[in-house]
A = this chain, B = another copy of it.
Amino acid sequence: MNGQFQIAVHILTLLNQEPGELIASEYIAGSININPVLVRKEIRNLRNYGLITSKEGKAGGYSLGRSPEKITLGDVYKAVYSNPALGQAKNLPNPDCPVGRQINQHLNELAADVESAIFKQLNTITLADFSLKFK
């Protein structure tokens, strides 16, 4: 997997530091130490999930889409989630082999169980909880 989740949590943590204020992508990028365009890209995604709101134009920027008590790290994972935690096999197993024929189905069920264990864990932590660590 990639660093999207970390970036997303970092962004949200920053926004939560200055409630009500609008923060620019340049500032955020400076804290994470990545390119501002990447920040804006990730924010586009998080905004689609309602986790962030944005304002264009001069003195524009970003702020939380809802209160940090109502954002769990599971929500973030869901927004960012593209690659399953167990990885994804891209080969097509041999359909003439009894194992190859059905293994993908079983691996997918397994992946689903693991995902749900991850959500269960991450949903216990809100952004508010996480941000407390920075006080």
Contact = CB atoms under 8 A, between A and B. Distances in A.
- So how many copies of this chain end up in the complex? 2
A11 B25 CA distance: 46
| Interface SS majority for chain A | helix
B1 A1 contact: yes
A9 B107 contact: yes
Contacts of A2: 87
A89 B3 contact: yes
B87 A31 contact: no
Interface of A: 1-7, 9-10, 13-14, 17, 30-34, 73, 77, 83-94, 97-100, 102-103, 106-107, 110, 113-114, 117-118, 120-122, 125, 130, 133-134
